[in-house]
Structure 1
């Protein structure tokens, strides 16, 4: 949950101590406002320029394709009663309205900076609503709008808008990862353990754009976990002090913070949080509230007003029959296309494997699929034929944390052609046959061995609620470089938050992961 900084004038703000007592007029504490010309303001201006360029190009192309260089030839006027309006002026009006609507709809909000999927969703929604409104107005007023003009402008404009935002976002993320530039100075407020966990998470995910420079938490009496004992951040709250709104505001002013993150175990009361949000908004400081709901995608979280309270409703993950049917359709079409297009590559790979040691080309291994069903997963053989017999002797060299998976970077059982196949994931191409048969999906959790499933903790069995996939979040996020806990967390996130868009994005990211061949061994 996040509040946007105000763009109004900065006022003096009130400290704690009197804010919850009716009839009192508290003293004032100044809070430094975020500069109007900081990196965030410049980035928003860049978004406006990018959107303007995309819209201008779109409307020029639509004009030229639909009417040619001379807009007055071939019906280049919009006729409405006695009025004839040249489509050049129609395009200008549409462009200005479209550009302004993207701002009014909030697609350039500061909270979207750096968040690709959410930003693209807002841009797409705003554009579709805008063109839907054009269609409704045209029908209601009997305006003979050229359908070809709209059919060109809508998809082209959407692609160019998203492409422009992607270019800006890519540049921003590179700056953040390279030298942690374009970050918001952030203060974390909460109890000790929650505050330190949040600081560690923000530092690990620089793409969020929040750089924790200071924390504000009461020192707890319970010992901290070992991983949190090494988190270094300055705590500005003395051990004997109680957290107050005044103290938070003074610390925000002193450290010139631009964002404040309130953890889910905040020591403040609901009234104090409400007043704090007002004062921070006046100072144009973002307030970000951590709900404590981890690994839950945004579309499943909804804010609802109930009994005067802003309650957060988390929708239950459910794969309806229509969504299952759509996913199955994607699998059939995708696997058929892959088998047809990649058949020459598969023939060459098979010939190389056969020529190397005269052994079998394919390797079939029993894996566990949807709801615990067993199936034979196909792969191009990348190991020597006695690999399973030699595995027991190598168990001591297992490099996988958690002792569930078996991984070795320099596995002596892998053949020379097999190393190339694994490096570029070519050994997995026969799995498109498993997808076509309905045993696997294009995207899903990693297909486990029965011996691995036997070692699962109870909650890990949730991975089996969807079909295993040729690719998935585990592959595009590090593949074999991930430890067991990371792999499980990614698989469970996918199971809980599946969507068509997520599958498409994972497939696109898989192409990049394969060519980068990181974590492949």
Structure 2
């Protein structure tokens, strides 16, 4: 009952509550992002959701559009400002994802949605992460976030799906507050570098073990 309907009902009610109560914060952040980092204010990217249905995930932008002499974007570390780093470390950049939750693309709790191009590199067990809505936060994130290797993250995601219940989600919410406000296990990574290496590393490993379908 919880997994099929109560969880979604709670997502709708809580996301509406957050959007109404903190509309002033969204406005303040939007203005700051516009003047400090430029436009568009929101960063959007295609991600796979439940049953691998593709949706656009929204965040506040955290980097500028600085380019080199040839007009190419500079590396992430050169475009990530102090303000952008603050947004990432405080997780304020993820506030627009509450609109994704309200729409039904995401849930408060679930496996984090990764890039679409990763889809061919999951094992059958790891594909369990796409049988539920992806989350704003998840068990893998509060179990180490950026300090845990990919294989461990995906195993934790699979275990979450297999044991999904109200108490589990309540536990994740509590650990999320501790992680965010305690500033633990949070690393501002070069996203392009990390995600660029991910697919190739996973492909090579899975081909060697014969797990790539």
Mapped pair 1:440 → 2:106: yes
Q: 2:53 aligns with which of 373, 395, 416?
A: 373
- Structure 1-normalised TM-score? 0.34
Task: Quote the Cα distance in structure 2 between the aligned partners of 1:346 and 1:487.
Answer: 30
Residue 500 of structure 1 aligns with which residue?
166
Task: Tell me what 1:198 maps to.
Answer: none
Aligned residue in 1 for 2:204:
none
Any conservation in 2 of the 1:359–1:385 contact (CA below 8 Å)?
Answer: no
4+ aligned runs moved over 6 Å, structure 1: none
The structure having more radius of gyration, on CA atoms, is: 1
Of 408, 411, 416, which residue of structure 1 is paired with 2:82? Answer: 416
Q: How does 1:221-370 map to 2 (within 5 A)?
A: 323-370=3-50
Deviation at residue 458 of structure 1 after TM alignment: 3.0
- 8 Å CA contact 1:352–1:417 kept in 2: the answer is no
Structure 2 unmatched runs, 5+: 189-213
- Distance change >3 Å, CA 478–CA 390, structure 1 → 2: farther
Contact 2:59 2:95 in 1 (8 A): yes
Q: Are 2:143 and 1:477 equivalent residues in the alignment?
A: yes
- Tell me which moved more, 352-361 or 426-435: 352-361
Distance 1:390 1:369 in 2: 29
Q: How far apart are the structure 2 equivalents of 1:478 and 1:343?
A: 30
Matched, 1:384 2:73: no
Partner Cα separation in structure 1 for residue 4 and residue 29 of structure 2: 33
CA RMSD of aligned residues (A): 2.0
Q: For 2:43 and 2:77, how far apart are their aligned partners in 1?
A: 17
Secondary structure of the residue aligned to 1:454 is helix
- The correspondence for 1:511, drawn from 167, 177, 192, is 177
Structure 1 gaps, min length 5: 1-319, 395-409
Secondary structure in structure 1 of the residue aligned to 2:56: strand
1:363 and 1:437 map into 2 onto residues whose CA distance is 17
Aligned pairs, number: 183
List aligned pairs for 1:14-25, cutoff 5 A: none
Q: Hey, what does 2:119 align to over in structure 1?
A: 453
Q: Deviations over 1:246-298 (max 9, x none)?
A: xxxxxxxxxxxxxxxxxxxxxxxxxxxxxxxxxxxxxxxxxxxxxxxxxxxxx
Deviations 1:50-84 (A, max 9, x none): xxxxxxxxxxxxxxxxxxxxxxxxxxxxxxxxxxx
CA distance in 1, matches of 2:96, 2:144: 22
Cα contact 2:37–2:63 (8 A) shared by 1? no
The SS at the match of 2:77 is coil
Bigger relative contact order, structure 1 or 2 (CA pairs below 8 A, ≥6 apart): 2
How far residue 390 of structure 1 moved from its aligned partner, in angstroms, is: 4.6
The change in CA–CA distance for 1:358 and 1:411 in structure 2 (over 3 A counts) is closer
Distance 1:482 1:411, change over 3 A: farther
Cα deviation digits, residues 429-469 of structure 1 (max 9, x gap): 00000000001000000111111223223321111010000
Q: CA deviation at 1:386?
A: 6.5
State how far apart, in whole Å, the 1-side matches of 2:12 and 2:61 are: 24
Q: Distance in 2 between matches of 1:385 and 1:451?
A: 24
CA distance in 2: counterparts of 1:517 and 1:447, whole angstroms = 22
Residue 121 of structure 2 aligns to a residue whose secondary structure is coil
3-state SS, counterpart of residue 65 of structure 2 = coil
SS of residue paired to 1:473: coil
1:466 to 114, 132, 155: 132
Structure with more of its chain in helix, by fraction: 2
